[in-house]
Structure 1
């Protein structure tokens, strides 16, 4: 160190002076951001806020799935809702320990932990610093919506200016300029989504992110959503016998877009198309949608364009399914087959019907 001091005429690297006035003592705000380049004093400000007691340091159990570790004694619905609200809606990811998650998944898991723990005051350092900017911006938008519902106050420290519009903060302090801004100055950018009718050709891209492994739906019409040419979401539609109703299945939103709200808007748009008869049958049909995803169930249950029509704890009779398939095959081909059948699973499934703006059934 003495050689460095003599070469560069520097006596010490331990001295750092920062004078920042943040008028944030009131309770009339939810999210504030301290932004600026590295080494400009963001962490020092964070340590000074609320006497240094609010700096967030998440603790995760090793080799324990995050669904069990996020809040060990927490309510299951609260935990899954928090994970979904910050865009970590991938069920396989819930079953992985924190240490094996990707950087993007860890980023969202930490945010979900904050939502579950609901601290009155929290400071999060290095916000979005180690993740892809697409995940950072979408994750920031998802977090701010979920955190505001907790009623707490969060200060986020970041060197990235691209998250400001997505966070829609109540105030921002820029350490590079010393400027403090407060008010509704930032608005989330609009997401322009295009919908394309297709077939199963894009399903291999989405399939790894779906929580079930099933064969293709028979006579399905597939749809994908894109943003600036990038694949964002997928869903498949088929019909019930007699063309009395459509069935929507295989809804998947790519991980980097989860939490942006595109999935439900995508599904609603296609359901509305089918309700108006804009399908290959030129026939108006309501849409039935089944899911086991607790976060999606909660969203559909409170959405005015959907009504819940069923809730089953387990699948139907496997024996009945086997006999039905065998009888149908024998009638069509004259051959007797031994089918395994479907059903008998212990997977809670909830059913919803899209009713659009027509009111409650």
Structure 2
């Protein structure tokens, strides 16, 4: 594919313009020309990147690749949350899956309109909508330009992984070279050097840096930092063992584990991954590392037990079902019986064990699914 960019404008001769020309020995700023040869006419690629400094012709190249209409600029309604605006004609589960795939796992953010989101949330919402609606060809301009570099790298990796699961070709235009290793693109055109690189069949040009984390066993004092990012408003777990995953000393994920009656099983709850790390795959790896500890008896009780984990997050449920180390053991569409819960709480209050407000929990629509960790080499999926 031959790309030819030629832009021109008026050559001004004002006093200041003439003085700038004289001071910096610049004849004119009226013309811009760029020639590029991009051998990408075939369909044997999924993600390409045009990278280079601002003003080097990336946007002009992007407009010529697939035509101006392929440049991804979604329009967002101001009177609807993003969960309604993304792929409204598709099934519900595809929308949370797309949001989670690009690391926008904050459920409260799903219930807000696009214009009130932060820059980082908007960046990921745009990518989630692209994944959910999935045009055959798309060009994403200013990719990762307006977000923190940590969010940019993790968001780039999460988007590329999710995009490759389906069909379509996406070209990312970026002035940041730090995202290249995380995108692992099939080809790269550098406008600063005028060079084109393409991976061999079955390979990629770059390799994503590995993400390793430390596993800390701690107490409930870490929970307040993670609580705002949990999709339920719950107090800290009583008599639980708390775990935190840390990358370079920075806490990035949290989970708490307690024993079930009879100490024949453990139950993991309060799994939270910080927003800037969502989409990196740390959450599931971290959860499984903790469950493996309990399976091996590495806990303060010294017991070797399997671990149960419950969630209503469609994306996480799908990931656990795909993993042979987990097996699904339950699924409920509604909460517990509200009347029975109210009576139980009243009895507990009469014994002085808790305060009773007269309310009961349950009866709500919430598809909670339960999974048991079986461990490495498990035969059941």
TM-score range, shorter chain: over 0.9
Cα distance in 1, alignment partners of residues 278 and 354 from structure 2: 47
Cα distance in 2, alignment partners of residues 336 and 300 from structure 1: 37
The question of 1:2 aligning with 2:13 is answered yes
Which residue number corresponds to residue 217 of structure 1?
A: 237
The question of 1:68 aligning with 2:88 is answered no
Secondary structure of 2:33's counterpart equals: coil
Which residue number corresponds to residue 355 of structure 1?
A: 374
The question of 1:230 aligning with 2:250 is answered yes
The question of 1:43 aligning with 2:59 is answered yes
Cα distance in 1, alignment partners of residues 183 and 73 from structure 2: 21
One of 275, 290, 294 as aligned partner of 2:314: 294
Map 1:1-361 → 2, pairs under 5 A = 1-3=12-14, 4-9=16-21, 13-183=29-199, 184-327=204-347, 340-357=359-376, 358-360=378-380
Cα distance in 1, alignment partners of residues 147 and 355 from structure 2: 56
Secondary structure of 1:38's counterpart equals: coil
Cα distance per residue 1:280-335 (max 9 Å; x no partner): 111111111111111111111221111111111111123323433454566x6699
Secondary structure of 1:348's counterpart equals: strand
Secondary structure of 1:211's counterpart equals: coil
Q: 1:47 to 1:219 in 2, by over 3 A?
A: same
Cα distance in 1, alignment partners of residues 338 and 42 from structure 2: 61
Cα distance in 2, alignment partners of residues 204 and 107 from structure 1: 26
Cα distance in 2, alignment partners of residues 147 and 57 from structure 1: 17
Cα distance in 2, alignment partners of residues 15 and 225 from structure 1: 53
Secondary structure of 2:234's counterpart equals: coil
On the 8 A contact 2:223/2:236 being kept in 1, the answer is no
Alignment TM-score, normalising by the size of structure 1: 0.95
Secondary structure of 2:242's counterpart equals: strand
On the 8 A contact 2:348/2:354 being kept in 1, the answer is no
On the 8 A contact 2:312/2:366 being kept in 1, the answer is yes
On the 8 A contact 2:346/2:358 being kept in 1, the answer is yes
RMSD, aligned α-carbons: 2.0
Cα distance in 1, alignment partners of residues 221 and 18 from structure 2: 66
Cα distance in 2, alignment partners of residues 37 and 325 from structure 1: 63
On the 8 A contact 1:120/1:152 being kept in 2, the answer is yes
Cα distance in 2, alignment partners of residues 232 and 291 from structure 1: 19
Cα distance in 1, alignment partners of residues 353 and 283 from structure 2: 44
Secondary structure of 2:35's counterpart equals: coil
On the 8 A contact 1:5/1:11 being kept in 2, the answer is no
Alignment TM-score, normalising by the size of structure 2: 0.90
Deviation of 1:222 after TM superposition, in Å, equals 0.5
Q: What is the number of residues matched between the two proteins?
A: 360
Q: 1:276 to 1:36 in 2, by over 3 A?
A: same
Deviation of 1:74 after TM superposition, in Å, equals 2.0
Cα distance in 2, alignment partners of residues 51 and 12 from structure 1: 29
Cα distance in 2, alignment partners of residues 142 and 26 from structure 1: 25
Secondary structure of 1:105's counterpart equals: helix
Secondary structure of 2:37's counterpart equals: coil
Cα distance in 2, alignment partners of residues 129 and 297 from structure 1: 32
Cα distance per residue 1:31-59 (max 9 Å; x no partner): 11110111111111111112333211111
Secondary structure of 1:237's counterpart equals: strand
Unaligned runs of 5+ in 1: none
Secondary structure of 1:144's counterpart equals: helix
On the 8 A contact 1:142/1:260 being kept in 2, the answer is yes
